[in-house]
Structure 1
């Protein structure tokens, strides 16, 4: 049929070659999609698009559409009874591929780990060795790329940052720190998850079992800018210029009161992060220094990591291992493939009484650092932990 129609005057065939991801869900919110251009794209495209064109309409495919698509060729011919005569011709240019750092096996494991969840969720994986982003998964797979641009309180995953700051102030893992059921600061009462209380126990236990009130009690040791500076040293709240796309790296303001500092110490108050920011911070602890995350591979030489204090990081790694062996992260205890170190988090949000909670877990195994967020869940250990376990088992 094509061979019969093509010679007819006025018949035009629109042909294109479009690469497809390994699966329909594969990093879809990040990669985006290709389709008919919108009226807005035509209006704002400066003449690049016309109605009926096909282009990248979301995600990286829209952001890098000009590079990926190239430019069409144009031929103007004079047609008479004789052979056509070319009056004007501009050759087409081929689009250039966009290389990403995503690892197919890691991305597919992340996508599978989020399947069948009944809440929006995200999972980000980062290479400990290089800082390269290995997976960006969202559930649902389409729509908001909450893994990169979502803004959420980190809950107790931020205790990794707070602990690093406290270790720098002289805290030791075996120091006995009170964990009461509640702690009050300037009239505001802070509570533990499910009204837990452990008494005067080694800080290692407070960390492993995620005692909020222990961190509230330790918060006076911190200066107003300590948490902001320590977070930045691990990659939270800094520019991700090497990433190649928009992402929220987090916001950790200097604290303005004792109450503000107490809330920030366990990831509440005004502290906000994305799942990417949490994974980047965790990777910094795993490698012992911060490397900027990369996603769009430009071939540039990787920078040298900005080192963290070796002794403090060594202690922190040991504390994160205790979360998995004896604390709130036991969902990862029997995962094959080497030791897992982690920190769970349960972040309150909204105005309900009791408040609703988001479930977090972050950690690493081997070269893969990860962060998991489930937008609503009872606790990080019981909701996000099993998701992380499925992810690691899928690698």
Structure 2
């Protein structure tokens, strides 16, 4: 037993307890400080790192579906190219914003540094092309034409090209089979923007940053079906970006194929003939302006009468849609949008507006019948009529005596329609209209579908214009101040017109009504509208919505969603009136204004109907119109500043028909040479592996014209297209300065 007293142990124990307490308190203090440091002092930093320690998505773009013609020939498909792209996010981390890397890249690619730098800058209102209008977080294509050697240089010298990739990628290709460009119908693609991604995020077809979307044409209309669905692989990664494992995977779903009603062979013919017609028109002398016709733009539509399906649609000037693939260059962009480009991006078949001239007279004839005038009645066709102190001449000041409406259509007598329109204008109250004015001529035009869209499956179709009383009032309100400022009583033509419009521009005057009745004045139509009208006359009265899409077919060919024809009404005429107009239009090509263009045509085998038109445009040369149809097809062609209807457009339209039906210039038919004697009904077959059984197509090569036998070496067409000067022009033809058309002495009808 120890002799040490108990009280001797107390100080030591207390000291030990104090030390332990200090140690514990120190540990707690250290732990608390560390927790404060981690949670408060550097909390945001570690939070950001933790966010990266999660799941990363890698997108595999879907292969876009092909666009096929009616027989399965690809108009647009995809091909694998070496695409060099730049990550703007990585470049912006560099001190010089990546200019050094892009300059080195330009040297490898053989491009100008400023062009490469321009491609990766973001588009805004002040930034000219080239620039990037897609998401700034998406890799930006610099070129899709890199060679294997260039790609190897970039990948082998990765340290010199941070943020640059060179990968094989499927890119869009516009094939132009048989030289059928089809640019304005197909449209083009460009990258999706952040705004589009945001707007579509809650839809059933959201965008990913890697998506390319249709910007015009059927690429835009059918974008959702063609685009497919991109695949996404989700990887688990740590905060250093190292892959831990694969979370899940959504396989990419390729886009569906779009079968169109376009026939690539007919499209090639239509494009060629429209271009040739414009070239020929530029060699013709315009006696009104004392210079050759400019023929600066044009369009042609070939349509199936009984379905509204568009077989061909061409517009001039045109462009190569491949220019947009991989990002458009500054040079190409300037060519397409500059002041001197004449805007080739416009599809003039649905966006080109002009007064229709005499091809509008089918509407006026139907309006006259609805107003109570007999189609086969007798109506005076004098050389001129006066209304309101102004003289309105018939074509070439020539009169035909008393004729029917049918004969007025055949010979395109203006004064018959002047008289009828003036009578109706008076009945409706003239400049003081009745409360319930009949307005037959304006109302009938609306019932024909004019003044509104046809419903074609292409974006940005324009409405045209029917200048009825409401339009006159609205237009006057919008322009009155400008007219009053410009107008001058007794001034030049423009000043006098402005003066009159300032005072009474809201009134429907006699001159407005009589001019309108022959498709002149303020009325505007598009080629697709007039093709729809003439197709309806041909098919018995149904106004079909024109369509280009024929069917949406799944990549494996198993699912087929056919796009059925739809209509938006019927013509406002009974069968009797329709048949009478039909017969009159047949007379146009046998004894009327287009007869000289259809010599030798086999009317017994392929009945032809037509109407010519030559429309005046203030300050410009006349617009050529030619509207025609057979039992199966309607073709409408127009050429801006091209001259007369039958003169400029007539030969080209006939050539298109001859190619489709396999005809020669003497009326003989060889069905083996016929491109499309009957509309294509069957859809092309797409195999389970995605291959398409499509026939081959060769470029259109028209028959060479026979050489003249007079030793000049010129063809008949060459001689016809030789420029004419006043000294070269024979004295025989009579000329009316109102519309620039000529009438040869002794011919039965004018050449409109």
Q: Same fold (TM over 0.5)?
A: yes
Tell me, what secondary structure is at the counterpart of 1:356? coil
CA distance in 2, matches of 1:258, 1:15: 65
1:174-193 alignment to 2 at 5 Å?
174-193=376-395
TM-score by length of 1: 0.85
TM-fit CA distance, 1:162: 0.4
Whether the aligned pair in 2 keeps the contact of 1:358 and 1:377 (CA below 8 Å) is yes
SS of equivalent to 1:175: coil
Shift in CA distance, 132/78, structure 1 to aligned 2, threshold 3 Å: same
1:297 equivalenced with 2:550 (yes/no): yes
1:200 to 390, 393, 402: 402
Distance 1:290 1:234, change over 3 A: farther
Q: Indicate if the aligned counterparts of 1:248 and 1:277 stay in contact, CA closer than 8 A.
A: no
Between Structure 1 and Structure 2, how many residues are aligned? 385
Task: State the alpha-carbon separation in 2 of the partners of residues 76 and 49 from structure 1.
Answer: 15
Residue 163 of structure 1 is matched in structure 2 by 365
- 1:315-354 deviation per Cα after TM superposition (whole angstroms, max 9, x unaligned): 1011111111112112134345612111111111123xxx
Match status 1:346 vs 2:643: no
Distance 1:217 1:249 in 2: 29
- In structure 2, relative to structure 1, the CA distance for the partners of 1:203 and 1:7 (3 Å cut) is closer
Inter-partner Cα distance in structure 2 for 1:241 and 1:389: 28
Instruction: Work out whether residues 378 and 403 of structure 2, in 8 Å CA contact, stay in contact via their aligned partners in 1.
Output: yes
| Partner deviation per Cα, 1:145-192 (whole Å, 9 max, x = no partner) | 000111111111100100112233444454332223322222333223
Counterpart of 1:13 (choices 152, 158, 167) is: 167
Structure 1: gaps (5+ residues)? none
Worse-superposed segment, 257-266 or 24-33: 24-33
Match of 2:313 among 110, 128, 136: 136
Give the whole-Å Cα distance in 2 for the aligned partners of 1:376 and 1:384: 12
**RMSD of the TM alignment (CA)?**
3.2
Q: Partner of 1:280: helix, strand, or coil?
A: helix
Q: TM-score, normalised by structure 2?
A: 0.47
Q: In the alignment, does 2:184 pair up with 1:33? A: no
Give the Cα separation in 2 of the matches to 1:196 and 1:105.
43
SS of match in other structure, 1:247:
coil
Aligned CA distance change for structure 1 residues 248 and 79 (closer, same or farther; 3 Å): closer
- Among 14, 34, 45, the residue aligned to 2:196: 45
Task: Give the structure 1 partner of residue 227 of structure 2.
Answer: 69
Unaligned runs of 5+ in 2: 1-147, 159-163, 199-206, 280-294, 320-344, 429-437, 470-507, 552-561, 661-752
Once structures 1 and 2 are overlaid, which stretch shifts more, 215-224 or 342-351?
Answer: 215-224
What CA distance in whole angstroms lies between the structure 2 residues aligned with 1:169 and 1:374? 33
- SS where residue 378 of structure 1 aligns? coil
Q: Is the radius of gyration larger for structure 1 or structure 2? A: 2
- Structure 2 distance, partners of 1:291, 1:105, is 26
Q: Secondary structure at the match of 1:13?
A: strand
Matches within 5 A, 1:201-350: 201-222=403-424, 224-241=438-455, 243=457, 245-255=459-469, 256-295=508-547, 296-297=549-550, 299-303=562-566, 306=570, 308-330=573-595, 331-336=597-602, 338-350=606-618
Give 1:96's aligned residue. Answer: 256
Change over 3 Å in CA distance of 1:71–1:241 after alignment to 2: same
Partner SS for 1:15: strand
